[in-house]
Amino acid sequence: MRTGQTRSVAGSVFINYRLDTAGWSVALDETLSRRYGRDHVFRASRSIRPGEDFPDRIIQGIRESAVVLPLIGPGWLARDARGRRRVDEPGDWVRQEITAALTAGIALIPVVVDGAPFPTASELPGEIAPLGRRQYLRLHHRSATTDIRRIVDTISPILMRTHRVGTPLRGAE
């Protein structure tokens, strides 16, 4: 692999997000990257290099992950000017990433950001309805340090169980 090239590897974390949680995705990426190494955290806007095939890299990132963290912010189920929700569109990447994780049996831990409502299974398209039945974590600006620590503590055992590369994860020694 060339210097500066980012690739996810088995035992990594995939951060799934919409623009309303982009700032939180960066904060989680930075924290998790310091703990496990940048190659063990996949965030599309950092992990996919210019010129790479976006769909292929997203699917590869999901397949190589041990855990997917969908960040659910206040606008996650919002309707556009025509009354449509993005999550209802089959081509919505957030939906496709969650579907891929569910299909592959990858650990899926929703993270509710800044008091957003958590969608129920009945509010979601059928293929991602199981997301609405998952226990979720919270991430709030008033308790961010504690909340991020809880996220790390929750996913660490999953990463330790599923890590299959030759060297231990940073911080796991």
Domain count for the chain, please give it: 1
Residue 84 is predicted with a pLDDT of 94
Q: Are 114 and 140 within 8 A, CB to CB?
A: yes
pLDDT value of position 11: 60
Torsion sign across C-alpha atoms 104, 171, 36, 3: negative
What is d(CA 56, CA 81) in angstroms, rounded to the nearest whole number?
A: 31
Name the residue range of residue 35's domain: 12-162
Taking only the tens place, the pLDDT of each residue in 20-31 is 999 999 999 999
The CATH number assigned to the domain holding 69 equals 3.40.50.10140
pLDDT at 164 over 60: no
3-state secondary structure of 70: strand
Q: What is the pLDDT of residues 77-110, one digit of tens each?
A: 999 899 999 999 999 999 999 999 999 999 999 9
Structural Rg of the chain based on CA atoms:
16
Mean pLDDT of the chain: 88
Q: What is the pTM of this model?
A: 0.87
Cβ-in-10-Å burial (0-12, 13-18, 19+) of 125 comes to middle
Identify whether 22 is part of a domain. Answer: yes
103 part of a folded domain: yes
* 149 located within any domain: yes
Which residues touch 19 (CB under 8 Å, ≥6 apart)?
A: 75
Q: What angle do CA 10, 127, 15 make, to 5 degrees?
A: 35
Rounded mean pLDDT, 141-156: 96
161 falls in which pLDDT band (50, 70, 90)? confident
Element containing residue 137 per DSSP (H, E): strand 137-139
Residue 7 falls within a domain, yes or no? no
- Tell me if 33 is assigned to some domain: yes
Q: Is pLDDT at 155 greater than 90 in this prediction?
A: yes
Q: Find where tokens 């974590």 sit.
A: 137
In a domain, 167, yes or no: no
